[in-house]
Amino acid sequence: MGLIEAILLSIVTASTPLLLAASGELIAERAGVLNLGVEGMMLIGAVCGFAGAWATGSTAIGALCGIAAGVALSALFALAAIGLAINQVAAGLALTILGTGLAGLIGAPFVGENITAAPHLWLPWLTDVPLIGKLLFGQDALVYLAIGLIAAIAYVLACTRTGLILRAVGDDPASAHALGYNVAAIRTLAVLFGGGCAGLAGAYLTLAYTPFYAPGMTAGRGWIALALVVFASWRPGRLVAGAILFGAVSILQLHAQAIGLGVPSQLMSALPYLATVLVLVLISRVRRGGSVAPAALGTAFVPER
């Protein structure tokens, strides 16, 4: 029972940064913007979140610093891809390279430092319930924030005028512009939101997942978050299932190594990424008849003058 509880708790913590980053990217892509810079924004969010918490002793301030760093980096992408109509794929890859370099520069003084991890919720009686107590009532605040965020995104996209406008911009920006909506402004706000979520996801790694900073500690999670959006068919509900699936693969390979299955550790470490490729291949075969992606995804829009 204790082992099962430990595995479930580990899956939740491993899934949370994926869910946060993928939620922000989902909004950006529903607005028609493909931002491949999630990995870079997560890295800069991780180091700035750690630096903020290390300097102030507050994980809340650290989380805000991570969000601010992600928003700042995504603003550069928005300027290039939306303001200057540069190719979105090239701009996103450049953003990842920039974020990786900046994170290494900023984080050099913090390598080897430690902070106090984000506190976990504790409710008398409820948290002590075997198996599900800590799972439901013993998580840190960012886990509950991630769940609330995806619920809010699902509601906004499906039930509000704001969600309808966002989807219209992602499917047919020319028609949205003809109706009087500022496509560039809407896309920019969506990209900034995605950057804030990616920065928070990175900050989660240093504030709650492992309360220390190490270079490259995102370990490709930004790319997995991008794949999650495709896996979820750009639907928030499926995003939760995808995050749990990939989080479970990441954790189970660690437990498989711990019990000594005799499989090379390098192969076990590659399992989350092999699973990502396999899932994307299966999805592409299932959707052979057509795509469910936003129609204008990755396409720059320059209004006629």
8 A C-beta contact, residue 150 and residue 239: yes
Predicted pLDDT at 284: 66
DSSP string, 101-144: HHHHHHHGGGTT-B-PPPPBP--TTTTTSTTTHHHHHS-BHHHH
Stretch (H or E) spanning 217: none
8 A C-beta contact, residue 169 and residue 188: no
Rounded Cα gap, residues 77 and 83, in angstroms? 9
Residues of the chain with pLDDT under 70: 1, 255-269, 284-291, 305
Rounded Cα gap, residues 230 and 132, in angstroms? 31
Token pair 């005799």 in the structure block, residue: 262
Predicted pLDDT at 133: 86
Q: For 279-294, what is each residue's pLDDT tens digit?
A: 777 776 666 555 578 9
Predicted pLDDT at 282: 75
Q: What is the CATH number of domain 2-112+139-286?
A: 1.10.3470
DSSP string, 19-42: HHHHHHHHHHHHTT---TTHHHHH
Going by C-beta distance under 8 Å and a sequence separation of 6 or more, which residues neighbour residue 115?
50, 53, 54, 57, 59, 62, 206, 207, 211, 212
8 A C-beta contact, residue 74 and residue 41: yes
Phi, psi of 212 (to 5 degrees): -155, 165
Q: For 61-84, what is each residue's pLDDT tens digit?
A: 999 999 999 999 999 999 999 999
26, 36, 228 from 284: Cα distances, Å: 18, 19, 13
Going by C-beta distance under 8 Å and a sequence separation of 6 or more, which residues neighbour residue 248?
11, 14, 15
CA nearest 227: which of 51, 18, 15? 18
User: Hey, which residues does 140 pair with through a beta bridge?
Assistant: 120
Structure tokens at 98: 């920039």
CB under 8 A, 24+ apart: contacts of 268-277:
272/220, 272/224, 272/246, 273/220, 273/224, 275/245, 275/246, 275/249, 276/223, 276/224, 276/227, 276/246
